[in-house]
Structure 1
Amino acid sequence: MPHPSSSSKSPSQNAQLLHRIAAFIPVNPTHPAQVALRTYCLALCLSLGPSLVPFVISRRSEKTSRNALKRVLAREFGLKGFAFSVTLALGGGSFIRELWRILDDLDTETSDNPASAAAAKLKTWISALKLSSAQKTFLSNVISSSAGLFLLQAGRARSPSTPPSKDASASRTLDLTLLLLVRALDAGVQSFVARKSGSRRESDAAERPGHREALRTQIDSFVFWACSARIMWCFFYEPQRLPRSYVKWIHALAGLDVRLLEALRAIRAKEWSYLNGSPSQSHLLTTYARDLGHPAAWGDPAALPAYGGAQADKVWKQFGLTGRSGVGGLPCQMVHGEIGSSLGLEHSCTANAGLRGIKVLLEAIAIYLPVQFVPVLLSRPRALLEPRRVLESFLGALRSATFLTTFVTSYWYSVCITRSLVFARLFPFISHDFWDGPYGCVLAGCLVCGSSIWIENGRRRGEMALYVLPRAVRACLPDKWVRSGNAGVRLAERLTFVLSLSALLTAANHHPHTLRGLSRWGLRFIVKGPDVAFRKTNDNAPQKPLEKQHAIQPDLET
């Protein structure tokens, strides 16, 4: 029988093997090899993790078979996979920049080598351009991000993971491009705010945060308000401009019947009208009225009053409907749906907004409590033993839940104020084709709900603004132009992707104070590494200069 040590390695042997492997990893966390390694690991987690979820939670089928798993692994680990493409785009620039540093430091005056002569000419030509350190970093990232984007788009074009749809002609990297554009623009805005507040350096910004934070908060709040208004309007009238998951989430919060949404879109298309009736779409709300237990005439546009005033009161008297004197249009009971019906309050606009708010508040607390406590539990679990920390986390969750509740409640109450409670009563001579149209109560609700962002704290306002901005930008782009897939669209997207990513990486290297939120954390991790390197060296042992240490400091050259 063989000795146990012959079939397994001893701890000392394993330690020696790990030490030999670690010897190939540079000590400097900003070394291009470490930058590429961190980028690849992070990108692989972001792409491979969601791809493996169906194999873990779903039952065995053709989509979760062994062959399907092999295809997923081959796609994600391949040269055209997301991880390798992103590594080339983000990490490749650090290798080019390192070669540029070597060229700058190269002594070519005393060498007669042809290669050195060529390097000397190249160095002379580059020196004549008088590029700053930040400009050299930017150009290096332009080259690497261009190569990475072409590889990424080639892999996405051949990927069978995305089923064909009506949006198949749109670029599959468009969402990522818009995300990078928004983050790059935000870095530019933060740089502008820093200059306006008189803080050019990160240390100066920390010393004088008052004016800068106030200006940043105002910009973030305005951006969120404008973006949420556009997104909500598109949800009602052009949902194809938004991601499907986003539409489903808004629909769950809104609690609207699909037939009511279709009627609103039909009003916009002039296919459903209080003035002209609706020969082809009249059934939309008549069936909805019967399902709610109301007369079918409540949903018939030909039977409903188009204007307010005395004529509307006669119609409501015939219907036996009270509480809507002086205004026409669809009865509020139809708009509110089943909310408050069990309490006999389906006619009350205040009860409708309040009950919807209570429902959203309970759901939002269930969402935001883990968001507040899980990071603390994972990073600083002892902090949960401090009552002050627990109270702060709970109040933070309650504040975020109140924001979401106010968002939904203010939307519904604005709709009712416009079409029933105030404006339709003040202007009864305006038809409800306008009040219930795209520029009436729906637009009023879209413009009001985003103002609830003032309830959130300043830091979360910024992250929420950056979260909704890419979706709002996509919703503002001409739909036909985006889906055309012509050369102009591809060129515009590629230029946007390359310039945005290059600007972000340059900011991470030279102006880190202009980044914030997820982009600051993610790019700092990639460019500068975590607080410790991937391996530690023995401080007592003599160190050999394996490579030149290039500490990345903020570059204030203009």
Structure 2
Amino acid sequence: MQPPPPSSSSAPSRPPSQWLHRINSLFPSDPSHPLQISVRTYSLALLLSLGPSLVPLVTRRTSRHVLKRVLAREFSPKGFAFSVTLALGGGAFIRELWRLLDNLDDSDSAPETPARAAALKLRAWIASRKLSSAQKTFLSNVISSSLGIILLQAGRAQSSSSSVLRASGKEPGASRTLDLTLLLLVRALDAAVQSFVARKSGSRRESDAERPIALQQTAQERLASGLRREALRTQIDSFVFWACSARIMWCFFYDPQRLPKSYTKWIHTLAGLDPRLLEALRLIRTKQWSYRNGSPSHSELLRTYARDLGHPAAWGDPAVLPAYGGPQADKVWTQFGLTSRRGVGGIPCQLVHGEVGSSLGLEQSCTANAGLRGIKVFLEAVAIYLPVQFVPVILSRPQALLDPRNVLGAILGALRSATFLTTFVTSYWYSVCVTRSLVFARLFPFVSHDFWDGPYGGVLAGCLVCGSSIWIENGRRRGEMALYVLPRAVRACLPAAWVRGGNAGVRLAERITFVLSLSSLLTAASHHPHTLRGLSRWGLRFIVKGPTVAFWKNDDPPKQKQAALETQRADSRP
């Protein structure tokens, strides 16, 4: 008599490796498969959206109800992760369906059905349009991106009414997807520029085996074209950074609401300006504070600032300070007992410099002001850039640090970046002083200091000069920094009413920009990857092509490697 079969409760549990193998078998091994693309996209998008949302909640120790609401928002179908996955992964699925349609069997032996007949007619109609593979990829991404941005904006609009997002300081009516749209627009334009640079320089990314013999380049020609491409790219990146930094710095002084609050706070930390001095500059722009007409409503603004610095309150009084340079200004400075400002008007440099150099008795020196600020910025920048140089190496290839040349190169790279930031700050400050005190105001004493201290005087000079420090950085860093500041500069140039309007026309324009930009980037990642660079190159390559190993691999990589070696040995036998 045989014993009864064991009950389900007493059955041995399945080993974890078998469960993992079963899970792996559900996913295709091809890293460019639409399902793999969707999984990678969702994982990366969820990391980018959920991480910044959870950090403030954890640090502030908010209630469990708020945490649940944030999690429900991020994991919902209208959340950022799902919407972005639909925009990116959806295009891959549509493109795969397009491939199946192109490969549809049209032989007479195949059974005739209404669906097959309709598919053949659709394929014939598409074939008559003579679309290239890149055009098919672009149109597939246009469809999915259109659905993705609609879903994303719907989710952002719904979450904007919650108390969590109301506390974030966003402008009422402002699009919550505008920053993302501008980022995609800038990256798409950069891809177009890189394609133009490659054609202009005569550089080609195809290998010689893929070109006609007549077009194949020699090693010397490839080197020359590469140098031309790099030189042209560097010039464009430098000009973009210079123009963007000038616009951003000008907005910092006069329209800070056009910039992200975190960006404004960072610039304010570097600048080290007293808020009262910033307010006076803005009042000069609106003619509410004037050396010629005084400022009855704001006369105490800089008077209190001067007293706090230990100087006479009259040094900050626009009704007393000389509006022009020359002998009349010298009479005022003689009454004040001030000898460092002969020949020019305006507020004394001691107020502009603030407390910098006061402990050394150098608060009146423009050179000392720029130099001491530069030393402070340099030390802070070195503390920032050294980890930036070493942490990626430690995480990716720590054995490289065993080579002293790599260590020295990382240190020199950090010092070079710190020197760039130092030059950015010091050149700004010194340009202001050269304009309003040292050179130009002395050459033109008949020009009022309402101009020299206004938006088109010293401030504009500093904004135009500081960005030229980008030439200190190496070529690759110039490109990264240009792409970093460009979206912020573009937003700073948009009309404020347009940004805050939120009407149907603005949303439609943003959707079109989003769709075209994202579709262009995804098409470039699939067909023209050489036009992408920086984070867009890495991120889109990871999403579209996958890492060196697929997200989930059905086969064991060592077994694959062993099989490849055996095949190579077999092919080499006579």
SS at match of 1:140: helix
Contact 2:173/2:500, CA 8 A, preserved across alignment: yes
The 2-side partners of 1:305 and 1:65 are apart by 58
TM-score using structure 1 length: 0.93
1:255 and 2:272 correspond: yes
Deviation string, structure 1 residues 98-123 (Cα, Å, up to 9, x no partner): 00000001023424211110001111
Change (3 A) 1:255 1:511: same
The 2-side partners of 1:400 and 1:541 are apart by 45
1:168 and 2:172 correspond: yes
1:85 and 2:83 correspond: yes
1:20 and 2:38 correspond: no
| Segment of structure 1 superposing worse, 196-205 or 156-165 | 196-205
Change (3 A) 1:313 1:8: farther
The 1-side partners of 2:465 and 2:54 are apart by 41
The 2-side partners of 1:240 and 1:151 are apart by 28
Change (3 A) 1:8 1:497: farther
Deviation string, structure 1 residues 337-393 (Cα, Å, up to 9, x no partner): 000000000000000000000000010001101100000110111122221111110
Query: Match of 1:490?
Result: 507
Query: Match of 2:93?
Result: 95
The 2-side partners of 1:198 and 1:383 are apart by 35
Amino acid in the other structure paired with 2:379: L
Query: Match of 1:480?
Result: 497
Aligned-residue offset at 1:201: 2.4
1:124-523 aligned within 5 A:
124-159=124-159, 160=162, 161-163=164-166, 167-201=171-205, 203=207, 208-523=225-540
SS at match of 1:271: coil
Aligned-residue offset at 1:197: 1.0
Change (3 A) 1:45 1:8: farther
| Segment of structure 1 superposing worse, 158-167 or 459-468 | 158-167
Change (3 A) 1:432 1:7: farther
| Segment of structure 1 superposing worse, 102-111 or 29-38 | 102-111
The 2-side partners of 1:202 and 1:275 are apart by 66
Query: Match of 2:43?
Result: 41
The 2-side partners of 1:517 and 1:328 are apart by 48
Change (3 A) 1:128 1:394: same
Question: 5+ unaligned residues in a row in structure 1: which ranges?
Answer: 543-558
| Segment of structure 1 superposing worse, 115-124 or 219-228 | 115-124
Aligned residues, how many?
A: 534
Aligned-residue offset at 1:480: 1.1
The 1-side partners of 2:378 and 2:387 are apart by 15
Runs of 4+ residues deviating >4 angstroms:
5-10, 202-207, 538-542
Change (3 A) 1:189 1:9: farther
Aligned-residue offset at 1:289: 0.5
Aligned-residue offset at 1:213: 0.4
The 2-side partners of 1:109 and 1:282 are apart by 90
Aligned-residue offset at 1:200: 3.4
CA RMSD of aligned residues (A): 1.9
Contact 2:25/2:554, CA 8 A, preserved across alignment: no
The 2-side partners of 1:212 and 1:47 are apart by 36
1:535 and 2:533 correspond: no
SS at match of 1:286: helix
Contact 1:97/1:136, CA 8 A, preserved across alignment: yes
* Percent of pairs with identical residues: 79
Query: Match of 2:120?
Result: 120
Aligned-residue offset at 1:537: 1.4
The 2-side partners of 1:508 and 1:416 are apart by 48
Amino acid in the other structure paired with 1:167: E
Contact 1:512/1:520, CA 8 A, preserved across alignment: yes
The 1-side partners of 2:508 and 2:68 are apart by 34
The 1-side partners of 2:187 and 2:558 are apart by 43
The 2-side partners of 1:108 and 1:148 are apart by 34
The 2-side partners of 1:443 and 1:9 are apart by 77
Contact 2:238/2:470, CA 8 A, preserved across alignment: yes
Change (3 A) 1:233 1:327: same
SS at match of 2:400: helix
Deviation string, structure 1 residues 66-125 (Cα, Å, up to 9, x no partner): 222211211111111111000000111000000000000102342421111000111111
Aligned-residue offset at 1:199: 2.1
The 1-side partners of 2:20 and 2:337 are apart by 84
TM-score using structure 2 length: 0.90
Contact 1:239/1:247, CA 8 A, preserved across alignment: yes
Contact 1:217/1:461, CA 8 A, preserved across alignment: yes
Amino acid in the other structure paired with 1:69: L
The 1-side partners of 2:38 and 2:530 are apart by 23
Aligned-residue offset at 1:322: 1.1
Contact 2:303/2:316, CA 8 A, preserved across alignment: yes
Contact 2:306/2:316, CA 8 A, preserved across alignment: yes
SS at match of 2:31: coil
Contact 2:28/2:554, CA 8 A, preserved across alignment: no
Deviation string, structure 1 residues 33-65 (Cα, Å, up to 9, x no partner): 00000000110111111122134434x3xxx22
The 2-side partners of 1:285 and 1:353 are apart by 22
The 1-side partners of 2:74 and 2:530 are apart by 33
Contact 1:286/1:298, CA 8 A, preserved across alignment: yes
| Segment of structure 1 superposing worse, 333-342 or 208-217 | 208-217
Change (3 A) 1:79 1:174: same
The 1-side partners of 2:327 and 2:239 are apart by 42
Query: Match of 1:552?
Result: none
Contact 1:108/1:119, CA 8 A, preserved across alignment: no
Change (3 A) 1:97 1:316: same
Contact 2:38/2:89, CA 8 A, preserved across alignment: yes
| Segment of structure 1 superposing worse, 470-479 or 527-536 | 527-536
Change (3 A) 1:459 1:95: same
SS at match of 2:391: helix
| Segment of structure 1 superposing worse, 532-541 or 187-196 | 532-541
Aligned-residue offset at 1:335: 0.3
Amino acid in the other structure paired with 2:336: F
